[in-house]
Amino acid sequence: MRVLVTGHKGYIGTILVPMLLEAGHELVGMDSDLYRGSTFGDNMPSIPEIEKDVRDVQSEDLEGFEAVLHLAGLSNDPLGNLNPDLTRLINHEATVHLGELAKQAGVSRYIFSSSCSNYGAGGDNWLNEESAFNPVTPYGVSKVKSEQGLAALADDNFSPTFLRNATAFGVSPRLRFDLVLNNLTAWAFTTGRVFIKSDGTPWRPIVHIEDISRAFLAALQAPREKVHNEAFNVGRNEDNYQIRELADMVKDIVPNCKVEYAEDAGPDLRCYRVDCSKILRVLPEFKPQWSARKGVEELYDAYKAVGLTLEEFEGDRYQRIAHIKSLLASGKLGEDLRWKVAVPTA
């Protein structure tokens, strides 16, 4: 299948692309490459690409594709809060516009990387795909509105699918340290403290980026009737944890560390416990292979291999919000987060 992958140079995209290639798909990527200066290691995959902001897509960019896998966007809550209007334009309006252009171009499949952040302040009860949305951040709102806008485009010729990913973890060439398990393990390795910024009580479903990629592959290759205009929570039921449980797990695996709470630690409105049984039932080809404990071990080994320091993971190279602020301050990015100065792609 000929597939356009937006955000192919991002945290998940760099893991997904090799899986799609191995499955025999013909790929083209689209990415503005905001994080070209944030590569962790040297395993960046290479495919034909269109270097373009998703807001600037034109109909001719989509001609000849059978599917679009849409991962591009502002990727977390702090970045979403930096400029909520930009979050709306990039994460919501550009996502739906891409769907409109894809439909006009005859693209039959559109698989959207959504989020369990849609459920937001979900409380302690189990939530499934029919549960009410309750987003509490601009990022979560953008994902909800994108799903709604794309669903309105669905018809006999255009089939959107919504993968509501649990909170991601795992090692990637474009590693993110703002994700809970990646962050807790980094704090433990670099400081000996498993540092928790909330009171540790919120629930989070978590899922490895390889398993998110397996979900994309399963949805792409599934019969249309199984995934047409359907949402799927992506993860495993056993990988719903309270933050303090994840902290204790990290403490058990990373030597010589202790759990510590921030002085101003309090409850986090973002609390959701998610039922992921639908995807396992409807798409039996989706076979997740990672547990949280295995993920901590992978992260610890990766941090140890490069000698990660606190300054690196909390600094402006790898931290998404700090990196963007640095590019803005340097004048390389405009306030609209489009490149103003050409920079090397290495």
| pLDDT class of 341 with cuts at 50, 70, 90 | low
Quick one: what percent of the chain has pLDDT higher than 70?
Answer: 97
Alpha carbons 160 and 99: distance in angstroms, whole number:
8
Mean pLDDT of 218-227: 98
Instruction: Give CA–CA dist 58/121, Å, rounded.
Output: 37
Mean pLDDT of 175-200: 94
| Inside any domain, residue 46 | yes
pLDDT of residue 42: 81
Task: Give the pLDDT score at 77.
Answer: 64
Domain annotation covers residue 255: yes
Residue 338 lies in a domain: no
Res. 266: pLDDT tops 80 = no
Q: For residue 148, which of 105, 99, 195 has the smallest C-alpha distance? A: 99
At residue 64, the pLDDT reads 97
Note down the domain range covering 322.
2-330
Those residues whose C-beta lies under 8 Å from the C-beta of residue 117, and which sit 6 or more positions away, are 77, 135, 137, 139, 140, 143, 270
The pLDDT of residue 344 is: 47
What pLDDT score was predicted for residue 111? 98
Amino acid found at 237: N
Split into its structural domains, the chain has a count of 1
Residue 193: inside a domain, yes or no?
Answer: yes
Q: What whole-number distance in Å separates Cα of residue 307 and Cα of residue 253?
A: 17
Q: 124 forms bridges with which residues in the sheet?
A: none
318 and 324 Cβ atoms separated by less than 8 Å? no
CB atoms under 10 Å from CB of 291, counted, come to: 15
Residue 339 lies in a domain: no
Q: pLDDT tens across 286-309, in order? A: 999 999 999 999 999 999 999 999
Q: Give the C-alpha separation, 173 to 188, whole Å.
A: 21
- The residues pairing with 94 across neighbouring beta strands, listed in sequence order, are none
Half-sphere exposure of 97 (CA within 13 A, CB side): 15
Q: How far out from the chain centre does Cα 105 lie?
A: 26
Q: What percent of the chain has pLDDT over 90?
A: 85
Residue 336 lies in a domain: no
Per-residue confidence band for 123, with pLDDT thresholds at 50, 70 and 90? confident
Question: Can you give 21-43 as a three-state secondary structure string?
Answer: HHCCCEEEEECCCCCCCCCCCCC
Sole residue written with tokens 């929570």: 233
Mean pLDDT of 151-171: 98
Separation of alpha carbons 103 and 62, rounded Å? 9
Instruction: Tell me the chain's radius of gyration from C-alpha atoms.
Output: 19
For residues 176-181, give the mean pLDDT: 94
As to burial, measured by CB atoms within 10 angstroms (0-12 exposed, 13-18 middle, 19+ buried), residue 232 is buried
Residue 323: give its domain's CATH number: 3.40.50.720
**Residue 344 lies inside a defined structural domain of this protein:** no
Q: What is the pLDDT averaged over residues 13-17?
A: 98
Whether 233 and 276 have beta carbons less than 8 Å apart is answered as yes
- Per-chain mean pLDDT for the chain: 94
What number is the average pLDDT over the span 23-45?
Answer: 94
Contact 140, 39 (CB under 8 A): no
Average pLDDT of the segment spanning 148-174: 98
305 burial level (CB within 10 Å; 0-12, 13-18, 19+): exposed
- Encode pLDDT of 65-100 as tens digits: 999 999 999 986 677 677 889 999 999 999 999 999
Residues 183/129, Cβ–Cβ less than 8 Å = no
Q: What is the pLDDT of residue 220?
A: 98
Q: Residue 263 pLDDT more than 90? A: no
Nearest Cα to Cα of residue 32 among 10, 61, 4, 64:
10
Q: What is the pLDDT of residues 166-175, one digit of tens each?
A: 999 999 999 9
**Res. 346 pLDDT band, cuts 50 70 90:** very low
User: Of the candidates 252, 272, 149, 119, which has an alpha carbon nearest to the alpha carbon of residue 205?
Assistant: 272
Please list the residues that pair with 26 across neighbouring strands: 2
> Residue 189: inside a domain, yes or no?
yes
| Stretch (H or E) spanning 98 | helix 94-104
**How confident is the model at residue 264, as a pLDDT?**
79
- Secondary structure, 3-state, 223-278: CHHHHCCEEEEECCHHHEEEHHHHHHHHHHHCCCCEEEECCCCCCCCCEEEECCHH
